[in-house]
Structure 1
Amino acid sequence: MARLSAVPGDLSRLTTLVDSGDLEETRDIISRAYSPYQLECLGDAREFSAWYAEGGFPGVTLSDLRYGSPRLNAETLIRPQPLGTYLLMCEVTHGWVTVSSPGREECHVGAGGTYVLDAHRPFQVRWSPGARMFTVRLAREDVERAAADALGLEEPVPARFALGGAVSPRAARTWAGISGAVRREILGEGIAGDNPLVAAQLTRTTAALLVGTQRLIVPNGADIRRTGVVGHAAVRRAMALVEERADEPHTLADLAAAARVSPRALQEAFRQHLDTTPLGYLREVRLRRAHQDLLAAGRDGSATVSDIAYRWGFSNLGRFAAYYRERYGQPPSKTLSG
């Protein structure tokens, strides 16, 4: 995963809208900034606090949001209504959050991780004490036009995204690049705020890269033309098997059989569309699931590193630790201990 770089620019360029320990005040202000939402302090209400600031240029809004304090114990739970007219690309910089869409999916996202909240469905986010994130807000219509371009369609299409981060490590690095450019424009000396042409171009580029790097849920019957979104039917079939049964043993031959192509053809398709191999993708999914379990076990003590490694098919603990450190920048024991 491409980790977020140090935030460029001056945070004082953002306008602070909330700096409060009052639940009602925070709920009212952020409901106006985003969408109406429920806000709960999971613990001693005296430990609740919130800080929210934003800034931007026409087409893109950058927000910086924190709930609670890492020195205290209270977590925060938010339940917004569907966003409706815009999408949020969320980049966790401190702590962790657990994001869920009722009845559908859940993911745990630690520092350096990303996820997309689309405009169409309700969700809830549980914040660790002191968790903090940047969000990049884009208009729904801009993202839907970018999705149509990616699908080779004339009319905008509903842009819905699965949780779980970018489609590949290379895609994550690409998103980190445009995210850094947006932050530099807003927090630094950029001209997008004063130049409508620059603002429009940067907005279009950001929307296109959101669609091209994140897990777009493809409308039925659409034929994807661009490599940022997986368009090869065999790749999609292999990915579906991996996502549904990542804890089961799979060989290249197994994945190729599920994809209904030869092993060599599947390898070439993965290289072209995801810049990885089928077994590399399997390992990436397993590492992501292991990361989620380590975060959960760190909160409730339900498992050890070896339990989680074996659960997700890593029989060699040394290799698991090496893969994990490369992917997340720290040993699995560190994630488990919090």
Structure 2
Amino acid sequence: MEPLTFESRDLGQTEEFLNKAYARMRIGSDVPSPRAVISRQVMGTVSIDRLRLDFAMSYDVNPLGKVCLCTVESGTIAQQVAGGDQEVFGPGDAVLFAPHDLPYTGQIRRSRYHIIMFDPALMQQVAGTLPGRRPEPVRLLGHRPVSAVAGQHLARTIAYLRDDVLANPELADQPLVVSTAGQLLAASVLVALPSNATADATAQDGRDAHPKALRRAIAHIDAHADEPLGINDIAAAARVSTRALQYAFRRHLGTTPLGYLRQVRLAHAHDELKTNDPRTTTVAAVAARWGFFHPGRFSLTYMAAYGRTPRETLHAPAEAPPR
């Protein structure tokens, strides 16, 4: 397939193109004539896009329906998937940009980067070959690779597909090459990123995923919930690997470390909404203070947990102290 190319300095045209190329979204710019240059190469259900944005582009995107990876060459990208914490990606990062079934929002700040998308069914096919694998949908459990080595491997795989396979039309048109390349990408993703497909811990991870490590992790989260926290920070505080940390939280609490962190932050936000004065406090300010940067999604998450909107909690009469 011939590469798809796009270039414009018109924000409306860029938004229209992005809606067709990805999913429904709204974008904004910090300059009057924002330059965007985008090219796409496609191989089967895998696409690799090269993007250059010479402006700071804010965005709010519906679910893509595909697994979306990102490698950053320059600039920075601040990203938040619904129900998650804001992540900031920079040069050299190879990460999960967004899962296939969740909306996301953020800002791309004068960046050159690649977006890699593929059908989540590819991960299901590859995971099905793992011995002892339970027949359940594959889910990625974190945005960043489990180690620096794993991240480098994922970046090399993407570069190989982009520069050696897709750049050679004779190879990219061969059905067997297309099939194998897609499986290679899916396998690299499952090796590099935490997922329930590779959740069966190694023997060392199993030994490390004990209640003491979990208690250390929980204590660190509880003490630092109002600070920027990533899974590597929590694992370091628990003195275990990130994989062992993921395993410990799944095994003992049925959630992920960042999922637990979101629960703690939501509880703090709930307490502030109950006790703060609505004349001097806003829901948006409380949400942002606890890492929820999209007010609409914060409200949905809050309602699911507490059965009423944040605004209703903030404006509710103060509860009488117990006698």
Coarse TM-score class (shorter-chain normalised): 0.5 to 0.7
Greater radius of gyration (CA)? 2
Please say if residues 220 and 237 of structure 2, whose CA atoms lie closer than 8 Å, have aligned partners that are also in contact: no
Please say if residues 224 and 231 of structure 1, whose CA atoms lie closer than 8 Å, have aligned partners that are also in contact: no
CA distance in 2, matches of 1:95, 1:123: 19
Gaps of 5+ in 2: 225-232, 246-323
Q: Deviations over 1:102-122 (max 9, x none)?
A: 442111111111221111211
Q: Which amino acid aligns with 1:25?
A: Q
Q: Which amino acid aligns with 1:88?
A: C
CA distance in 2, matches of 1:243, 1:123: 27
Deviation at 1:162, TM superposition (A): 1.9
Please say if residues 152 and 224 of structure 1, whose CA atoms lie closer than 8 Å, have aligned partners that are also in contact: no
Q: Find the partner of 2:76 among 83, 91, 96.
A: 96
Q: Deviations over 1:44-84 (max 9, x none)?
A: 3x1422111101211321101122x2xxxx51111110112
Q: Find the partner of 1:39 among 27, 32, 54.
A: 27
- The residue correspondences of 1:247-258 to structure 2 (distance < 5 A) are 255=238
- The residue correspondences of 1:170-319 to structure 2 (distance < 5 A) are 170-189=149-168, 191-216=170-195, 218=196, 224-225=199-200, 232=206, 234-235=208-209, 238=213, 241-242=216-217, 245=220, 255=238, 270=241
Please say if residues 152 and 223 of structure 1, whose CA atoms lie closer than 8 Å, have aligned partners that are also in contact: no
CA gap of 1:180–1:168, structure 2 versus 1, over 3 A, is same
1:125 counterpart residue number = 106
CA gap of 1:187–1:57, structure 2 versus 1, over 3 A, is closer
CA distance in 1, matches of 2:10, 2:99: 28
Q: Which amino acid aligns with 1:210?
A: V
Deviation at 1:154, TM superposition (A): 5.3
Please say if residues 208 and 244 of structure 2, whose CA atoms lie closer than 8 Å, have aligned partners that are also in contact: no
Please say if residues 62 and 186 of structure 1, whose CA atoms lie closer than 8 Å, have aligned partners that are also in contact: no
Q: Secondary structure at the match of 2:101?
A: coil
Q: Secondary structure at the match of 2:86?
A: strand
CA distance in 2, matches of 1:173, 1:203: 18
Deviation at 1:193, TM superposition (A): 1.6
TM-score normalized by the length of structure 1: 0.59
Q: Secondary structure at the match of 2:14?
A: helix
Deviation at 1:184, TM superposition (A): 2.2
CA distance in 2, matches of 1:91, 1:103: 23
Q: Which amino acid aligns with 1:26?
A: T
CA distance in 2, matches of 1:79, 1:240: 36
CA gap of 1:25–1:182, structure 2 versus 1, over 3 A, is same
Is 1:114 equivalent to 2:114 in the alignment? no
Is 1:55 equivalent to 2:55 in the alignment? no
Q: Secondary structure at the match of 2:113?
A: strand
Q: Which amino acid aligns with 1:49?
A: R
Q: Deviations over 1:202-233 (max 9, x none)?
A: 111110110110132x3xxx873476xx9637
CA distance in 2, matches of 1:235, 1:194: 46
Is 1:82 equivalent to 2:56 in the alignment? no
Q: Deviating runs (4+, > 6 A) in structure 1?
A: 271-274
Aligned residues: 231
CA gap of 1:136–1:156, structure 2 versus 1, over 3 A, is farther
Please say if residues 205 and 243 of structure 2, whose CA atoms lie closer than 8 Å, have aligned partners that are also in contact: no
TM-score normalized by the length of structure 2: 0.61
